[in-house]
Chains A and B, each alone.
Chain A
Amino acid sequence: MIQIKNLSKLYQTKHQKIQAVDNVSLNIDHGEIFGVIGYSGAGKSTFVRLINRLEEPTEGSVVMHDQDITKMPANKLRKKRQKIGMIFQHFNLLWSRTVYDNIAFPLEIAGLSKAKRKEKVLELIHLVGLSGKEEAYPSQLSGGQKQRVGIARALANDPEVLLCDEATSALDPETTDDILDLLVSINKRLGLTIILITHEMHVIQKICHRVAVMESGKVVETGDVLDVFVKPQSKTTKRFVQQLNPLEHEKDKLSDFINDRDDSEVIKLHFIGNRARRALISEVAKKFDVEINILQGSIAPTQEGAYGTLFIEINGEKTILQNAIAYMKETGVEAEVVEHA
């Protein structure tokens, strides 16, 4: 639905040149939640602002529904922007307007009649769960409520795409979850394509279908969220995945269990999707003459199913041990023998 090709942005300041976005090509499908993750300064904000041309690209194209946004004349671009909603880290609401009037603003821009505006605004206020707050000013709202207004405002003109730049970064964890749930329900209910920028892996884990990892302007890795979680390729991605998995930091605590003996191994298992629910451990224990100790475990739900990690110690005779490990791998669970670092 959105084809991004060789997109680049070079900032020229007096003292230096900054390649904020460097030759990025991506295809984003209709109805998916596409995440872009990267550390501060990676160029995420610049990237997302190139999509609705708040920033002029130095090179490349953004094609949405066969229309190249980068080549549109100003008046056509303004029309197109009405169909590209955007929400911001700091909400960017108009302080002088009430919740109602903030949400009505994009409809005024689109030239809707007062009656039509009213109908739409009330519908949106209901959708984002702000009924009763119509007459409140932004200064009277909590962060989460402000972002709900931001979302309602972005949805006002029935956009095809929603761009979210760090939409939850100013919110506490619980409010973040509420807002993310709202985004998922909007995505499902309206079939809206969402491009979401973040520096927090759990945001990606929780709601994205696919993810691109950015580093110094480049996309260094892209793929289905689960694949990227299980087999991160680049160093940056690995660090992000570790954010999610606190066990990774505690690996050294496992070192007591790791030894050079043949009859005992420490194994790291990844459970992906529905396999995460299988009773693999008891299966293995029944089938093979081995002893299994569970050392550590964690599970994280994603849009494509759950993703779990489990560290186990498995003891038994050498060949039986090998067979048991092979069996686990056969079931499709990623099993990795942990050696001393």
Chain B
Amino acid sequence: MLKDFFPNVIPEDLWEATLETLYMTIISVIGTLILGIILGLLLFLTDRGNLWKNSFINFLTATFVNVFRAIPFIILILLLFPFTDFLIGTIRGWEAALPALIIGAGPFYARLVEIGLKEVDKGVIEAAKSMGAKSHTIIFKVLLPESMPALISGLTVTGIALIGYTAIAGVIGAGGLGSLAYLQGFQRRDFDVILACTILIIIIVFIFQFIGGFTIQSDR
């Protein structure tokens, strides 16, 4: 039955490509989460009127974030080739896509984190201070938990963008569904392979969205 609709699809290849896309997505989402939270916290905390007010560090962080957000992803991959080669030891395969994915999406997520943190009621932070809370208590027990719904929905949006990025990375040799669609589908003109890859990517996106939505709901 599947063979009728997708005559050129090799199930083993499709499965392998799906796994690669999943690996790339999951690991880069984790990396993006960490980088984004660190940068977002820095942006927020060093801003005027906040806990670690420091206009120099704020300027540095903001510049870093703005620059890497401005670079188109496809160019970022090329730009990071030497860095990737040094870090991963190769520029081929799904592992090699990770630095570009994380550095591309991290700054984007950092801005979403910053927005989420800004939404936290100043009064709540003040209440924590009035109880004698230390900075790290305020960060980990007030700021992050209070902005959790925004952090999660931001991560969902970023994660979905990341799935798109993995497909782009695939075209220039990172493996995964993007690679399969390009090499087996586009170059050989086997349209059914492209279709199969598209369906799988859509399924992954939906799963991602579902997890994100579910986490936000169970948070309250």
Where chain B touches its partner, the secondary structure class is helix
User: Is B127 touching A109 in the complex (CB atoms < 8 A)?
Assistant: no
Let me know if A94 and B220 touch, CB within 8 A.
Answer: no
Are A54 and B130 touching (Cβ within 8 A)?
A: yes
Q: Which residue of A lies closest to B137 (CB)?
A: A109
A108, B141: Cβ atoms closer than 8 Å: yes
Question: B residues within 8 A CB of A97?
Answer: 145
Judge whether A109 and B131 touch: CB under 8 Å: yes
Are B127's CB and A96's CB within 8 A? no
A residues less than 8 Å from B145 (CB atoms)? 94, 96-97
The proximity string for A residues 75-96 relative to B, scoring 1 for CB distances below 8 Å and 0 otherwise, is 0011111101010101011111
Given A88-B123, A92-B121, A109-B137: A52 and B148 interface contact (C-beta under 8 Å):
no
* Chain A residue at minimal CB-CB distance from B148: A96
Judge whether A39 is part of the interface by a CB distance below 8 angstroms: no
B131 pairs with A105, CB closer than 8 A: yes
Question: Is there a chain B Cβ closer than 8 Å to A106's Cβ?
Answer: yes
Whether B148 and A82, one on each chain, are in contact in the complex, defined by CB atoms closer than 8 angstroms, is no
B129: chain A residues within 8 A (beta carbon): 54, 81
Q: Which residues of the partner chain B approach A257 to less than 8 Å between Cβ atoms?
A: none
Report the Cα distance A82→B137, complex, angstroms: 14
Nearest Cβ in chain A — how far from B207, in angstroms? 26
In Å, the complex CA distance between A108 and B136 comes to: 13
Choice from B123, B219, B220 contacting A92 with Cβ under 8 Å: B123
Cα–Cα, bound, A105→B146 (Å): 13
Contact of B160 with A by CB under 8 A: no
Q: CA–CA, A92 to B121, complex, Å?
A: 8
Q: How far, in angstroms, from A106 to B130 measured CA to CA in the complex?
A: 10
A78 partner residues in chain B, CB cutoff 8 A: 132-134
B215 CB to nearest chain A CB (Å): 13
A283 to chain B, nearest CB (A): 53
A86 to B134, CA, bound (A): 17
Using A96-B146, A96-B219 as known contacts, say yes or no to A82 and B131 having CB atoms under 8 A apart.
yes
B contact residues around A95 at 8 Å (CB): 121, 124, 146
B137-163 vs A, Cβ < 8 Å mask (1 yes, 0 no):
100011001101000000000000000
Interface residue A137 (Cβ < 8 Å from any Cβ of B) = yes
From B132, B134, B142, B219, give the contact of A94 (CB < 8 A).
B142
Whether the pair A81, B130 counts as a contact (CB closer than 8 A) is: yes
Whether B126 sits at the interface, judged by CB under 8 Å, is yes
A86 touching B132, Cβ below 8 Å? no
List the A side residues contacting B130 at CB < 8 Å.
52, 54, 81, 84, 86, 163
Beta-carbon contact of B142 and A106 below 8 Å = no
Complex interface residues of chain A between 97 and 123 (CB less than 8 A to chain B): 97, 105-106, 108-110
On whether A94 and B124 interact (CB within 8 A), knowing A78-B132, A82-B132, the answer reads yes
Alpha-carbon distance A155/B137, docked complex (angstroms): 19
Q: CB-nearest residue of chain A relative to B133?
A: A109
Known pairs A88-B126, A95-B124, A139-B220 / 10 extra A-B pairs, C-beta < 8 Å:
A78-B133, A81-B129, A86-B127, A92-B124, A93-B127, A94-B142, A94-B146, A96-B146, A96-B219, A109-B134
Pairs across A and B, CB under 8 Å, 29 listed: A54-B129, A77-B132, A78-B132, A79-B132, A81-B129, A81-B131, A82-B132, A84-B130, A86-B127, A86-B131, A88-B123, A90-B121, A90-B123, A92-B126, A94-B142, A94-B146, A95-B124, A95-B146, A96-B146, A96-B148, A105-B131, A105-B141, A106-B131, A106-B132, A108-B137, A108-B141, A109-B128, A109-B133, A153-B131
